[in-house]
Structure 1
Amino acid sequence: MATVQHWSGQEAHALRLALRMSVRAFAEHLGVAVRTVSKWDKLAAATEPRPDTQAILDTALARADAAAHLRFETLLSETGRPALSPGLRVTSSGPRMWDYESWTDDLERTVVELSRQNFTFASSLLIRWTSRWRPPELDDRGLYLFARSTALLGDLQRDQGAILGPLSAQHSYAKARSVFSQLDIPRRVAQLDLSLAVVAEMSGQLETAAHNYETLAVDDRLSCRDRARARLWVGTALSKSGNHTYAARVMQAATREFEDLAEPDDWSVAHQKLALAHRGAGNITGALHFIDVARTSGTTDSPMQRVRLDAAHDHILLSDRATRDDGLVVLGQAAKVAAQYGLVHQLRSIEGIKAMSEGPTGPRRQ
């Protein structure tokens, strides 16, 4: 935060303009006479407030918001007067106080936009910061925000289906992990390990993913929720590799943990994955039961979650010739939403389900 070493009428005048106040309003804001503020405006650097008034100006500056601080320092820099304490100013090559606040706000907005699958806007919020500074130009606070931005960029790339390569989720997660390791923040490092395990699973490295999930499921660096999610994803990798019965048992344990933790959305997702494990084991009745629970529980209704639920549901429906037509209808709905929101990975999965259902031997179990 900017501070003034010694106030003159010039700094006081700049603060009034930065706060966008009239002479009278500024006088009332400080509790001084109108003629005093007028003298500051007229005499500028040729006059100095009394010591008690300087303390009042210090307080007014400290209470000003980030935008007012930006206007205040800009006004002073235009006059060429070095009024701000050099010990508290950030070098011109790195972020300033208001940059950090804006950056933090944009990260919060990014999380919301990613939950809505508004990838274009989320990407613009992230790139405006990650393209502005390089890590060597940042202090620890800036590095933390840079790593968070890069990790969120990885989430965006993962949801869009960019899993491997130089412009992919894997690359972004590894980059964010490196910065969090440099900052010595173990919890964030472990969360990135979990994200990288998801990338391994999505790219077909099921054995590697399952092993990493198992390790992270007992990793004390992670929260109880993240450890339960790792345990659930062990089951997912097992189910994808054909070990459906054991996968269902692992998923059931994770489901109980989500219930104990009062996490309704994770609990709902766990039932969705349980449904697919039972479908893979040939238990269509059980699969329909669990997918119905997933569809009627949880609090999140994002496009991504709707597509995942519909894809799981039609996968089950297509397993039975009696419900195949219903499955194709649901499949079409899921494909439409996935295409609308650019959910490339989900769209590929839907196309894979459709191709299997249209195979020469009819619907098959996997």
Structure 2
Amino acid sequence: MPEPETSKPEAAVPDVHAHDATLKRLEKSSGSLAAQAIARMDETLPWYRAMPPENRSWIGLVAQAGIAAFTEWFRRPDAPQAISTDVFGTAPRELTRAITLRQTVEMVRTTIEVMESAIDEVAAPGDESVLREALLVYAREIAFATAQVYAQAAEARGAWDARLESLVVNAVLSGEADEGAVSRAAALGWNSPEHVCVVLGTAPDGDSELTVEAIRRAARHAKLQVLTGVLGDRLVVIAGGSDNPLAVAKSLIGPFAAGPVVAGPIVPDLLAATRSAQAAAAGLKACSAWQDAPRPVLADDLLPERAMAGDPSAREQLVEEIYRPLEEAGSALLETLSVYLEQASSLEGAARMLFVHPNTVRYRLRRVTDVTGWSPSDVRSAFTLRIALILGRLADGDLQS
């Protein structure tokens, strides 16, 4: 029987690159190309010359890695992930904060220009157009890789900033603001404005990030600094840069959901913002008692409702800012105001009960306005004054007991 034929193994085909000569010359010149790129940056980029030596050395490593990555890509352009963000992996993550995206683009452009100017020298005869085309494709891909690196850094920084901002807002609202909160706010760009207030309202349904971004846009338009966040169903804004809390609330009211929006009083700094936040929170809770309340409304305009809702700071403020000054101004003012608000419905009626001329009552009521800032002839102010009288008498009774 004939012996079966045995197939002979095929000879191994050597892995020879189509442009082996150019590849070898590219590998040989990669070090000098990187040095030329660094020299060009030092010559043409002022920001590079001004950087600390450590950062410049990291940029040099990035340039070398970029040229080495091009060499590897030229060897195997069809390999998966031939070009990736690994070019930037030689540098620490902090470098993305030390140099801007624009500066990185300038660095990449300079390196590509140096490589492009050396094509005639590096490419083997006949490979000039091939190497030039490869460099163009590589430049496009490295541009996408650069954008990806900075996009990832921006996303990470954005997520971290959002957590920091939430911590600061929560600390202010809960009364736990301290120097640590001030430091975190400074890291977010808060530069300690002289006038600060807190605005509270209902947060809209949907993505809270969109709401926060809308607040920031409104703040930029109004030239305000803000720290903001959505806590539960409440939208909280700590605003700095204006001594008019009502104007601040009006400029930021757009992103709030329907319902009351309350602005706390002006305080000097972030550490004192807890007082403004607590007043705004108490006002938001008591606002339903004033059906005709404007939107937005000041927390101080809700003092009587806040006091009746059990807010001790509102009770104290009414006593200290209305009742005590009237008491110190003389008993005639307290007596006249009490008769006018509680027993008479007119100047003439109060004058008859007090046995004085109506002009005397008119003068005393003007003095009440001068002393307290609240006018007895205005319905809303009269209500506030009457609550202050009641609370003042209760406070005096407690002192006597």
TM-score (norm 2): 0.29
Q: Which has the higher helix share?
A: 1
